[in-house]
A and B are shown apart, each in its own frame.
Chain A
């Protein structure tokens, strides 16, 4: 039985529906469409931001070469992306392991700052404690409006750190905040699709950092050289 275009006009009376095959076929079709949207957004994002990502990677490589450390932070799903960033830089599949840390990982610090001061300062206060001018602050957001990220960028900029933001929608406040030097925007208004393309941006930016370091002759202890095809497998 093929679904008719007018089926949506006749919703099932609650609890009467019994044929799960029709639903399953709708679900699979919906997932397929979203998959293709995600692929298209990934392509559009990486093509549009190619030059920007190269510029940011070069600046990051300079910081790493000078002994800098990368601090990544975000809220919710973006906090898990910050964890992913820290893991990718410190324990890479190839190339040089680099010093990186997620500021969303330590529950003692997060809860202490939230409880004693407020959630707006959870990242900025950590940067006050850890940050040095040579370091890198990377904030991840989908809205671009998170107050705790903007405060962290303000603190990072004050210290002279390199500031890098990932945002979605039209970039939000992060796109216009002068304290944030580089804002990489995934242009979509779906939080999920934004995060999916941000995952790609994270991987490509990391690969470009490795390329920049490799071109500069940088070698960290424990690094393994990239397989010749590694970059294309990202």
Chain B
């Protein structure tokens, strides 16, 4: 195969990718519609993060609305920067391989920060549930993936703006219709520990800052992710 031959596009692979991209685009449109900011991060390829942000802030098509999108600066501590910067309702878009430890850590904190996460990458896929949305290329080749990333985020922008033409679908779908709802009942919400004071801790959840009981878990320290049930931490997910 020469350099100029076409990139191999496995038919089924593209179908799966475009379906994932469609769902991610609607989710991002809903967050933008509610005032969210999109945070873009790519530790190895910072130019991709910058490119995503400029697409949304300064659209190439005149008349499309400017949307809030910012980057995590190259070389920055990803988790520390996002922890300090994101507000509930924001989005985090990462362009990174599945073995990027900083991105993995940031993505798993998404529910505690109240952000919706989109992970774009290539090669081996991240573990199930590693992010709210995963748009993945099977290729192991870095340069091929880099080219296709450009397509993916251009289409993310294009599809997001198509969603704005469907205002009825931008309202967040009601999650709780029954008296008992597994999604938002207090079964076990993710929280990030801010400070620990004896048997109590101040934690950050998607709802904001809360004070909880940490008697049931052996240890807890700032930055740990814990599951909270009925006002108590029941598991320290960072302790293993």
Residues of A within 8 A of B (CB): 12, 14-20, 23-32, 34-36, 38-40, 42-43, 46-47, 50, 76-77, 79-81, 83-84, 87, 93, 191-192, 195-196, 199-200, 203-204, 207-208, 231-234
Query: A37 → chain B, closest Cβ, in Å?
Result: 10
Q: Which of A23, A79, A233 contacts B166 (CB 8 A)?
A: A23
> Are B9 and A17 in contact, with the CB atoms below 8 A?
no
> Are A17 and B48 in contact, with the CB atoms below 8 A?
no
Residues of B within 8 A of A (CB): 1-7, 9, 14-15, 17-19, 21-23, 25-26, 45-48, 50-51, 54-55, 58, 60, 141-144, 146-147, 150-151, 154-155, 157-159, 162-163, 166-169, 173
> Are A31 and B155 in contact, with the CB atoms below 8 A?
yes
Residues of A within 8 A of B169 (CB): 17-20, 23
Q: List 11 A-B contacts (CB under 8 A).
A: A12-B166, A17-B166, A27-B162, A31-B155, A35-B9, A35-B14, A93-B142, A200-B147, A231-B3, A233-B143, A233-B144
> Are A30 and B3 in contact, with the CB atoms below 8 A?
no
A146 to B155 Cα, complex, angstroms? 25
> Are B47 and A81 in contact, with the CB atoms below 8 A?
yes
A199 to B152 Cα, complex, angstroms? 13
> Are B167 and A14 in contact, with the CB atoms below 8 A?
yes
> Are B7 and A42 in contact, with the CB atoms below 8 A?
yes
Query: A60 → chain B, closest Cβ, in Å?
Result: 16
Q: Which 7 A-B pairs have the closest CB atoms?
A: A17-B168, A27-B22, A83-B47, A31-B18, A46-B4, A233-B141, A80-B51
Residues of B within 8 A of A38 (CB): 151
A81 to B154 Cα, complex, angstroms? 14
Residues of B within 8 A of A195 (CB): 150, 154
Q: Which of B3, B47, B150 contacts A204 (CB 8 A)?
A: B3
Q: Which of A27, A207, A208 contacts B25 (CB 8 A)?
A: A27
> Are A192 and B154 in contact, with the CB atoms below 8 A?
yes
A208 to B2 Cα, complex, angstroms? 12
> Are B168 and A24 in contact, with the CB atoms below 8 A?
no
A15 to B170 Cα, complex, angstroms? 9
Q: Which of B18, B47, B54, B162 contacts A32 (CB 8 A)?
A: B18
> Are A234 and B143 in contact, with the CB atoms below 8 A?
yes
Q: Contacts A32-B18, A207-B3, A233-B143 known; A196 to B150 CB distance under 8 Å?
A: yes
Q: Contacts A23-B169, A191-B60 known; A28 to B146 CB distance under 8 Å?
A: no
> Are A77 and B168 in contact, with the CB atoms below 8 A?
no
Residues of B within 8 A of A29 (CB): 18
